[in-house]
């Protein structure tokens, strides 16, 4: 798509438009604070070191705030969460709660609504990826 006339919400990497790497860092920090602060989500997280989790997710966050039209090439999110889905019954409602915390974190740090909408749209397809059983599931369960 030719992007000569750059309308609001369509120009360049989200990273710049959201306010740069410092803002993203703060969003992610606040997001984890909210996740770990919720008794409903703690059972999925209590045995995970937050720094370890953040490190693991950093490629995903870079992609999320990166240039448009780049497919996510990281590890399957289904496989990454298969244990908590199968062994701890991580549910679509739990997922939605996490997404709400991410949205709230951006909002509380002053990200513009249009950008929040764009980020949340980018995240949308992952819900199906999480909860749709795959032929690769069984071999990864061990
Ligand atoms: C990794 C929990 C939501 C993306 C992980 C891991 C846990 C976890 C425990 C570590 C898995 C492992 O190393 O074995 C949760 C919980 C969530 C949540 C409790 C509650 C809402 C999400 C969402 C996304 C996401 C909404 C993205 C759409 C990732 C990614 C990794 C990860 C990219 C790293 C995968 C890798 O190893 O490369 N998560 N997750 N998570 N999660 Fe989540």
Given a cut of 50, whether residue 47 has pLDDT beyond it is yes
Q: Are 34 and 105 in contact (CB under 8 A)?
A: yes
Q: Sketch out the chain's domains with CATH numbers.
A: 14-133 (1.10.490.10)
Judge if the beta carbon of residue 63 lies within 6 A of ligand 1: no
Given a cut of 50, whether residue 5 has pLDDT beyond it is no
Given a cut of 70, whether residue 142 has pLDDT beyond it is no
**Arithmetic mean of pLDDT over the chain:** 90
Q: Which of 87, 84, 140, 115 is nearest to 19 (CA)?
A: 115
Q: What angle do CA 69, 75, 77 make, to 5 degrees?
A: 85
Judge if the beta carbon of residue 40 lies within 6 A of ligand 1: no
Given a cut of 50, whether residue 105 has pLDDT beyond it is yes
Percent of the chain with pLDDT over 70: 89
Judge if the beta carbon of residue 124 lies within 6 A of ligand 1: no
Q: What angle do CA 67, 70, 76 make, to 5 degrees?
A: 125
């Amino acid at each position: 798509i030719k992007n000569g006339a750059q309308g609001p919400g369509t120009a360049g990497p989200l990273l710049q438009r959201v306010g740069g790497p410092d803002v993203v860092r703060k969003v992610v920090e606040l997001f984890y604070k909210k996740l770990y602060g919720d008794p409903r989500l703690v059972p999925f997280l209590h045995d995970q070191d937050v720094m370890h989790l953040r490190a693991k997710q950093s490629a995903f966050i870079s992609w999320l705030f990166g240039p448009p039209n780049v497919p996510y090439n990281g590890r399957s999110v289904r496989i990454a969460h298969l244990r908590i889905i199968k062994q701890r019954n991580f549910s679509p409602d739990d997922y939605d709660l996490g997404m709400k915390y991410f949205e709230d974190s951006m909002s509380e740090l002053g990200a513009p609504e249009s950008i929040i909408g764009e980020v949340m749209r980018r995240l949308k397809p992952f819900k199906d990826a999480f909860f749709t059983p795959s032929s690769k599931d069984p071999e990864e369960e061990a």
